[in-house]
Amino acid sequence: MVSLTRKSAKPKAITPLKNYSSLRDVRLWAGVTLLIVCALVGRSTIHGASDRSDALVLVNNLAQGATIRAQDVRITQVNVPNPDLLVSDTAQVVGQLVASDLYTGHVLTVHDYRGQSTEQMREVTVPLRAGHVPSLSYGDRVDVWVTPSTTGVAVPGPSHVIATRVLVSVPPDSVDSTTDTSITLSVAADRVQALVQASQDGFIDVVSVPFENPERVTS
């Protein structure tokens, strides 16, 4: 009889993954690096958020030349690159003049205001007819027009402007289409006579001059 003997299969050797160890090291170091970067960014963010300074911010629009009042500002906290330029004391700005047109939400700096002008300014109150009263606030600017009437000294004629970009010192008490009112304007001393005479010669109208936010102006 022929005996068939089954030879046992020779076990195959497992080839080790030569690159597995180095790949694992790369991933490990990448993970460690990412954790370090995240920790540094988080620390910087937390530090920056906590490094805030007191500052005054405007709650009203104020045209150039307007006097800053206590009710025009409020205290807040901001995070800016140059906190030394900020103004945090209300007493420091109240009574000062606005150096340029400023807008609600603007954070005041030492460059935004100046001392009282040497130019002599006067406050003149002129009447406004019912239905000719725009909505105005302190610190707005208006152009002043006059329409001569038959009862005045001036010869009746078309309406014409007598003053431009005049500062509103006291706005009308109310905007009512059925009620006459008045407005107080802050003007240079040499413009007082023209305004007073115009109010006697005819009807006064004021036209609101809109603020032009330089951030929205395109070249």
What are the structural domains, with CATH classification, of the chain? Answer: 53-114 (3.90.1210.10), 121-209 (no CATH)
Q: How far apart are CA 191 and CA 30, in angstroms?
A: 75
Could you read off the pLDDT of 94-108 as tens digits, one per residue? 999 998 889 899 999
Could you read off the pLDDT of 146-159 as tens digits, one per residue? 998 866 555 667 88
Q: How far apart are CA 199 and CA 182, in angstroms?
A: 11
How far the first Cα of the chain sits from its last, in Å, is: 108
pTM: predicted TM-score of the whole model, two decimal places: 0.61
Task: Give the pLDDT confidence score for residue 7 in this predicted structure.
Answer: 54
Banded pLDDT at 44 (limits 50, 70, 90):
low
